């Protein structure tokens, strides 16, 4: 008596696996993109917070040393005064009236006026 001992998967089984993987990918990919967008936003918020904290620390150090609370001057590379290094993905532009720091990932600009104000550009 001859037995038919086929080993392997049928075409239907393979198609079902491909369909299930496609459905899982369709669900996972949008989640991945929202997570990366959220990570960029959180990174931007963290760097802005660090710059603001650095400005306040700079002013506090000036107060202790000189008795006068002051902030770094405009057009004087203020980021070098308040941070150890400029974070990747951020581009400073120093000008006569207002310094600008741009977050390269989305083009958001932040302005520094020399009086401790570091705010998003309108």
> Hunting for tokens 């990919």 — which residue is that?
29
Contact 78, 112 (CB under 8 A): yes
Residues of the chain with pLDDT under 50: none
Contact 75, 86 (CB under 8 A): no
Instruction: Tell me what pLDDT residue 19 has.
Output: 95
Instruction: Tell me what pLDDT residue 81 has.
Output: 83
Instruction: Tell me what pLDDT residue 96 has.
Output: 81
- Which residues lie across from 91 on neighbouring strands? 102
Question: 71 is written with which tokens?
Answer: 């902030």
Instruction: Tell me what pLDDT residue 37 has.
Output: 84
Q: Which run of H or E residues covers position 63?
A: helix 11-66
CA-nearest of 114, 45, 40, 44 to 79 is 114
Length of the chain: 122
Starting at the earlier edge strand, list the strands of the sheet with 118-120.
90-93, 99-103, 108-112, 118-120
Instruction: Tell me what pLDDT residue 71 has.
Output: 92
| Distance separating alpha carbons of residues 114 and 6, to the nearest angstrom | 79
Strands (E), the chain: 90-93, 99-103, 108-112, 118-120
């Amino acid at each position: 008596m001859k037995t038919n001992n086929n080993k392997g998967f049928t075409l239907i089984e393979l198609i079902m696996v491909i369909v299930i993987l496609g459905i899982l990918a369709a669900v996972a990919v949008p989640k991945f993109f929202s997570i990366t967008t959220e990570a960029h936003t959180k990174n931007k918020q963290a760097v802005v917070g660090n710059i603001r904290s650095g400005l306040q620390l700079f002013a506090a150090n000036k107060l202790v040393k000189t008795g006068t609370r002051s902030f770094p001057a405009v057009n004087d590379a203020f980021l070098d005064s308040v941070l150890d290094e400029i974070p990747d993905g951020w581009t400073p532009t120093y000008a006569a009236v207002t310094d600008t720091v741009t977050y390269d990932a989305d083009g958001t600009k932040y302005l520094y006026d020399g009086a401790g104000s570091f705010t998003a550009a309108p």
